[in-house]
Amino acid sequence: MMPKLCAPVINEAARVLGVEPAALLVPDRHQPLVRARALVVWLLRALPSRPMSYPAIGRVLGGLDHSTVINLHRKAIYLRLRDREFGTACRWLLARFYLTEEDINVRN
């Protein structure tokens, strides 16, 4: 079972970077998909209530090995510092999902 915020994070990251959400769940190494997967990994690790583990993120992203997820996380950190569009997407989505997560926690 996928944690509550995984599907929305995948959908929004794909939308913001202009790729299809389903494409993030299959093994394809085209650069736009790698960037979008890196964004998903970074977000799932950055959400404050409980960062997901690398193996759990790998399962969500179609069975990626944890070392692949670690490399995607490193790539996301690099891109946040070097790529203005990626950095802006990180900040915007983190704020969006931080608020969503707080709303979910208030209701429970």
87 in any annotated domain: yes
14 in any annotated domain: yes
2 in any annotated domain: no
- Please report the pLDDT score of residue 108 as a whole number: 41
Tell me how far CA of residue 53 lies from CA of 3, 39, 40, 60, 64, in angstroms. Answer: 12, 15, 13, 11, 12
Q: Which residues span the domain enclosing 58?
A: 7-107
Tally of CB atoms within 10 A around 12: 21
Selection from 18, 12, 43, 41 nearest residue 30 by Cα = 18
88 in any annotated domain: yes
98 in any annotated domain: yes
d(CA 61, CA 6): 9
The CATH number of whichever domain residue 66 belongs to comes to 1.10.1750.10
- Please report the pLDDT score of residue 105 as a whole number: 46
Number of independent structural domains in the chain: 1
Question: pLDDT truncated to tens, each residue of the chain (108 aa)?
Answer: 567 778 999 999 999 999 999 999 988 889 999 999 999 999 999 987 778 999 999 999 999 999 999 999 999 999 999 999 999 999 999 998 876 655 544 444
1 in any annotated domain: no
21 in any annotated domain: yes
Tokens 């950190």 belong to which residue? 77
